[in-house]
Amino acid sequence: MKAKTLNVDGKTVELNSRLNGKRITKEVIYYLCGAVLSLMFLFPIIYMLATSTKSESAYAQGAGSLAMFFPDFAHLGTMFDNYSSVLTNYGIWKYALNSFLYAAIVIVLNVLVNGLAGYVMSKMRFPGKRLFSALIIFLIIVPVETSIIPLYSIVKIMLGLKQTASVLGIILPATISIFNVFLFMQFFQSIPKEYEEAARMDGSSTLGIFFKVILPLSKPIVATVAVFCFIGVWNDYLWPSMILPQTGADKWPLMPIQAALTTIQSMEGITTGEIMASLVITSIPIFVIYVAAQKYIVQGFGSAGLKM
């Protein structure tokens, strides 16, 4: 395509060239700013990874210089000693296993309970449906902190906080999520009614339609809810610290990993490298699961539409 020209005072100006130059300049500035901001956010992660490979003396030597952002390549044989230490000496793997177990149970119950609630709200007609829909929106915007004290009182009265049954205090409150009900409700509205009508003609019951038709068509939103539930349980610190009792050294601990990290990091004799290694270990599952399910999360939010 021939460049357009403009004569101004006897001078010919190539408009396309000038526009292309401005666009290239804007893109260069845009990507440079993005790179700088990305590095700013990555610096704490780089520092954490680098420090997790160092002994206390190596960490002290590199403090305050660029060396603090580089692993200890001078001692390759001991780079992962901090990881083995926190896994064996401090038993962090036990707390990680607790978190995985709690998260697995919460995910299954969340999909069943909130999925059924979302199915009822999106596909069925009943008196007061609009009121319940408005109540769901209202509860979404209410901060969780406002209900934590009443919830603590309920759990304390019903389960007690000294027995192993207090583990149910981790699972049961996390089973119901208003936001997840809202996600399921919006996604199910996008599923054509013809699928349900065909299933009813084949003799399926309401529960049969939900488990055999609706859920198989809802993999994106199920994956999205599963990721959110896992992240919520894995990162939960305050609530488990309130309701779970401390166990003796001879018993299996009940605390999830985030609640245990605070105790481990305050122990006498623990090094900075071991603290950073424990943080790296707790960050890996979140990173892996989010990357693996990123496609489904985008599909889930795109299909749900987040509209009323």
Nearest of 50, 81, 96, 88 to residue 235 by alpha carbon: 96
Q: How far apart are CA 308 and CA 297, in angstroms?
A: 19
pLDDT at residue 6, rounded to an integer: 47
Q: Decide: helix, strand or coil at residue 205.
A: coil
pLDDT at residue 1, rounded to an integer: 45
pLDDT at residue 217, rounded to an integer: 87
Do the beta carbons of residue 166 and residue 244 sit within 8 Å? yes
Do the beta carbons of residue 225 and residue 180 sit within 8 Å? yes
Average pLDDT over the chain, rounded to an integer: 81
List, for the chain, all residue ranges whose pLDDT scores fall below the cut of 50: 1-8, 10-13, 306-308
pLDDT at residue 162, rounded to an integer: 62
pLDDT at residue 103, rounded to an integer: 93
pLDDT at residue 272, rounded to an integer: 85
pLDDT at residue 3, rounded to an integer: 47
pLDDT at residue 99, rounded to an integer: 92
pLDDT at residue 50, rounded to an integer: 87
CA 142 to each of CA 136, 137, 139, 147, 155: distance values in angstroms, whole numbers, following the listed order: 10, 9, 5, 9, 20
Do the beta carbons of residue 237 and residue 258 sit within 8 Å? yes
pLDDT at residue 106, rounded to an integer: 94
